[in-house]
Chain A
Amino acid sequence: MAAKQIIILGLIVCLPLALFAWLGDRLVRQEQTMVRQQFRDLLADKLRDTDRTIAGYFTRTQRELLDLTELQSLDTASLREFVRQQPRVSQVFVLEKDGRLLHPPLDAPRNASEQEFLHRAEPFLVDRDLVRLTDADRPSASGGRIYGNSSPRESAAADQTHGWYVWYWGRGLNLIFFRRLESGRVIGVELLRARWMADLIGELPQTVEIDQAPAAASRIQLVDSGANVVYQWGTVEPAEGAEPMAEIPLSSPLSSWRLRYFVDEKAFAAGGRSAYFNLFSALVVAGIGLAGLAVYFYRESTRELREANTRVNFVNQVSHELKTPLTNIRLYADLLEADLLALDEKEAAGPRERLKVIVSESGRLSRLIGNVLTFAKLQRKQVARRVKPGRVDETIRGVIERFEPAMAQTGIEIRFQAGAGELVELDADALEQILVNLLSNVEKYAAAGQSVEIVSSHQPDRTIITVADEGPGIDTAAREKVFQPFFRLSDRLEDTAGAGIGLSIARNLARLHGGNVRLVPSERGAKFEVDLHTPSAESKATP
């Protein structure tokens, strides 16, 4: 019973706690997602600042290139001098209005660098992408892309006087600055890839180790179209395959490149941990509260039991005190009975009747006291088994004999059908107490039936005794409950004549001896079946 109660009380504590925990976890997660998102937005903003730095570099470069391409003459010698002088320039070319190549010269000796340029630039020079600047909607066949800056209307690229031409070759993205001259010619400047990468690196921040709070630690990476790191800064070393906290593409012309922001995941997770710590503390407080409540309910629900226990304890002690005087009373009643036998029949008839009542009632009283003491012992698990060879029927007869006067008085007829005469290993005291309790109940509650039938039968190793009355019987709902201590079918005062521990004692004693007491279905009244483990004593006695 107690175990069941503990489970229920445990559930009362755990279920709400689990619910709180689940809700709390969801809340924390939601909060974290939100914070993470805000954080991501913040980092993306930072990356956009960096992107502006990079875009600024290209704007500046473009401006400088505009100045630089204000060439006095477009003859081969000046253009070569231009390439020789400009550190950022890899090669330069000039297209005639009709797309014809003016420089590098096709009809004069070219140097190795120009030769290489013609070789690698052939796709877009042949395709005349740059000549068809007007056709911005049409994708270029050579895979290049044009970014015009001067025109407010992207589609009307005819107005474009200068811009970037992006083209993938060799190790990746290459940049060509183009400019449409007033003459209609187009001058193109191929930038040295390694150089503008180095310049960007020069523009971007370095890693600063000193005076940096761990929370501010980060790693920003500039990655190219192939996701290779071109440059990075910051003290955080992201793990292999780690996802960046924020990532943005660069503005044109490097729009296939990306910026990535990594933060120290551990430092970030620490924030999440504190949220979980708060949740955990809240759960602990709620758990303590719920547990207190559960303990309160538990104490309330067991108060009755405890009170009854106190009662039993009290009665137990009192019973001990009563035992000695009662024994004396019975002893002297017996002596008195012997004395009365010596007296005149007529004179003694009255006192003998009264004495009979005294003897019978003191017997009842001593059974009651015995019950209480046994119950207390059972509760403390102090009952010892005293098994001796004996016959079940003899014990039954002894008990019937003792009950006969009282039963006769209430008009109950005891019928006994003996069937267990074998010599068996038996705790006669326990069996006696079981039967006394069953018969007491018949006497108390089933007197109206006016009959009780006891049947004993022997089976190998077992003895079955049934005690059936014809009284009011017991409701099916109460079939098991009657075996619980202090349970009574009716709490009406006039109905009570006991503490409600008899059946509990009977069952516990029977179980102690490898058996049981059950209420078995019967047509009328109540029918109890006592099942005892009784191994044969003969086989043991005659080895």
Chain B
Amino acid sequence: MRRSISASLSLLVLAASLGGSSAVGSQVQLNVSMANPTLLAEKKQTTFIKIGLTGFKMKSSAQRAPVNVCIVLDKSGSMSGNKIAKAKEAAIAAIRRLGKRDIVSIVVYDSTVQVVVPATKLTDKESVIAKIRQISSGGSTALFAGVSKGAAEIRKFLDKNRVNRMILLSDGRANVGPQSPSELGDLGASLMKEGISVTTMGLGLDYNEDLMTRLAQKSSGNHLFIENANDLVALFNHEFDDVLSVVAQEVVIDMRLAKGIRPIRTMNVDSEINGQQVIVKLNQLYSEQEKYALLEIEVPPGKVGQSRAIAEVKVSYANMQTKTTDRLSSSIRVAFTDSKAEVEKLANVKVKIACVLQIANKRNELATALRDKGDIEGAREVLIGNYGYLRFNAKLYGDEKLLGRADDNRWQSENLDGKNWAHNRKRMREQQNADLNSQKLYKKPEKK
């Protein structure tokens, strides 16, 4: 009896479309669930809510949303040779995948900025490609200016019905103009408000991964660490797979927590917590990919058998297929029991896995911070602890991804000093950002 009540209360609340006419198949799927839909009674405790959004399947690539993409290339002296050649090749390959409805601009920067191709509809592919071919390298790194000019180009055709994306490639540290991670992060956050995401690609071992991840993270873009310039074409393609499969954007999650439920923090995304209100913005949802926000809350003690409202969730997003603003809503409740076993039994494995992943991610960030302070032993301890934690949970829930992360953490713990550190730190930052952002990292096919 109790079980059936709990089960029914913890049921995923069906997403209701307010769009009206649009078919169910082309709706984003909202999935609000708790790590433990049933909690132990008589105890104040914290738990997690996962608000998952899964992009619907794009029917065909012909129906994809047009993009407004700006490729911003670092052409400073350090890029010369194979790097710039591969970057041009990658950009050309990307341009070839775009169509006449798309808008493209190319910006290059060294000590100064040049808009090689101002934002334009891609009616004449070959002339754009010819201009890319002329790019040559030399000079310093005015990264902020490059991003600023790139944003200005995108803004010329800013349109809610297009996927607005900047792709920034850099192999060095910004040394002209604003150059702190916080300034680039602020700029990213501002672009995010306009619906522009910045995907940052760090090439080689000399770029500032903090700056690049911050910019990507704050603008809800991807970040990629590219060790070898020869992988550029494949990685550009991987990135464009994302760009060309956007089914929804300007996603706003507006959550009202019930009275007495205290929001603590969002684990993986930036949020605005105004008392009982939690607002999370996601820029883009890709076809058949889930992005989620994980919120930690504090639930006051409940009585056995009691059921309690936790939150009302409203989601609005721009449907790129129907070109309408669609709304979804859901609500969630929690039940209380006195049986520990029951709590465990009814736990939501998927949410649990997400929690483990995000908690491990936070600890991974802590390890990076410790290592930055020079505390190699401390960092190693955290990573080895993380390895054990991930491995234990991977076995418990039978999850491959967690197992993979466990191995990653172990490898990282073994490469905290010496020549591998620079490389390792970039991998860590990439991984951290990817997990926060539910980004699928590119895996080289021949690896393994």
Contacts and interface: CB of A to CB of B under 8 A. Distances in A.
Interface of A: 76, 80, 84-88, 90, 108-113, 171, 192-195, 197-199, 201-203, 206-209, 219, 228-235, 237
Contact of B186 (A112, A192, A234): A192
A202 B187 contact: no
A231 B114 contact: no
B183 interface: yes
A233 B151 CA distance: 17
Contacts of A110: 274
Contacts of B272: 80, 84, 111-113
A87 B139 contact: no
A207 B193 contact: no
A109 B111 contact: no
Contacts, number: 104
Contact of A202 (B114, B148, B180): B148
A113 B142 CA distance: 29
A198 B147 contact: yes
Interface in B122-166: 139, 142, 144-145, 147-149, 151-152, 155
Contact of B178 (A86, A194, A206): A194
B152 A195 contact: no
Contacts of A86: 193
A343 to B, nearest CB: 121
A232 B142 CA distance: 9
A109 B142 CA distance: 40
A231 B143 CA distance: 10
A26 to B, nearest CB: 39
27 contacts: A80-B272, A87-B193, A109-B275, A109-B276, A112-B273, A192-B190, A194-B186, A195-B187, A197-B148, A197-B178, A198-B148, A199-B152, A201-B144, A201-B145, A201-B152, A202-B149, A202-B152, A203-B152, A206-B115, A208-B114, A230-B178, A231-B142, A231-B145, A232-B142, A232-B177, A233-B112, A235-B112
Contacts of B176: 229, 232
Contacts of A112: 272-273
Interface string B260-279: 00000000000011111001
Nearest to A80: B274
A232 B114 CA distance: 11
A108 B275 contact: yes
Contact of A195 (B145, B186, B279): B186
Contact of B193 (A84, A228, A237): A84
The 3 closest A-B pairs by CB, nearest first: A202-B152, A109-B275, A201-B148
Name the prevailing secondary structure of the A interface residues.
mixed
Given A113-B272, A231-B177, A237 B151 contact: no
Nearest to B153: A202
A111 B273 contact: yes
Contacts of B184: 194
Contacts of A235: 112
Contacts of A207: 112-114
A402 B189 CA distance: 127
Contacts of B180: 171
B121 to A, nearest CB: 20
A232 B193 contact: no
B198 to A, nearest CB: 12
A108 B145 CA distance: 40
Contact of B114 (A88, A203, A206): A206
Contact of A206 (B112, B275, B281): B112
B207 to A, nearest CB: 19
Contacts of A80: 272, 274
A195 B273 CA distance: 23
A111 B193 contact: no
A240 to B, nearest CB: 12
Contacts of B183: 171, 193-194, 197
Contacts of A90: 186
Contacts of B145: 201, 231-232
Contacts of B273: 109, 111-112
Choose among B178, B189, B272 the residue with the greatest number of A CB atoms under 10 Å from its CB: B178
Nearest to A90: B186
Given A86-B193, A206-B112, 12 more contacts: A87-B191, A109-B274, A112-B273, A171-B178, A192-B186, A192-B189, A194-B184, A198-B152, A201-B145, A201-B149, A203-B152, A207-B113
B148 to A, nearest CB: 4
Interface of B: 111-115, 139, 142, 144-145, 147-149, 151-152, 155, 176-178, 180, 183-184, 186-187, 189-191, 193-194, 272-276, 279, 281
Contacts of A231: 142, 145, 148, 177
Nearest to A230: B177
B263 to A, nearest CB: 10
A423 to B, nearest CB: 94
Contacts of A171: 178, 180, 183
Contacts of A198: 144, 147-148, 151-152, 187, 190
Contacts of A76: 274
Given A206-B112, A233-B112, A85 B193 contact: yes
Contacts of A209: 114
A201 B113 CA distance: 10
Nearest to B176: A229
B112 A234 contact: yes
Contacts of B191: 87
Contacts of A203: 152
A87 B142 contact: no
A438 B276 CA distance: 136
A90 B176 CA distance: 24
B304 to A, nearest CB: 31
Contacts of B274: 76, 80, 109-111
Contacts of A202: 148-149, 151-152, 155
B133 to A, nearest CB: 15
Contacts of B279: 84
Nearest to A235: B112
Contacts of A208: 114
B194 A87 contact: yes
A208 B176 CA distance: 18
A80 B274 CA distance: 9
A202 B118 CA distance: 12
Choose among A88, A113, A198, A206 the residue with the greatest number of B CB atoms under 10 Å from its CB: A198
Contacts of A201: 113, 144-145, 148-149, 152, 177
Given A80-B274, A192-B186, A232 B148 contact: no
Contacts of A88: 190
B113 A194 contact: no
B184 to A, nearest CB: 7
A269 B375 CA distance: 56
B134 to A, nearest CB: 9
B171 to A, nearest CB: 20
Contact of B190 (A195, A229, A232, A234): A195
A80 B281 CA distance: 14
Nearest to B140: A237
Contacts of A87: 190-191, 193-194
A232 to B, nearest CB: 6
Contacts of B190: 87-88, 192, 194-195, 198
B45 to A, nearest CB: 21
A111 B273 CA distance: 5
A427 to B, nearest CB: 85
Contacts of A232: 111-112, 142, 145, 176-177
Contacts of A111: 272-274
Given A86-B193, A171-B180, A194-B186, A206 B155 contact: no
A54 to B, nearest CB: 14
Contacts of A230: 177-178
Contacts of A199: 148, 152
A128 to B, nearest CB: 26
B186 A193 contact: yes
Nearest to A114: B274
Contacts of A194: 144, 178, 183-184, 186-187, 190
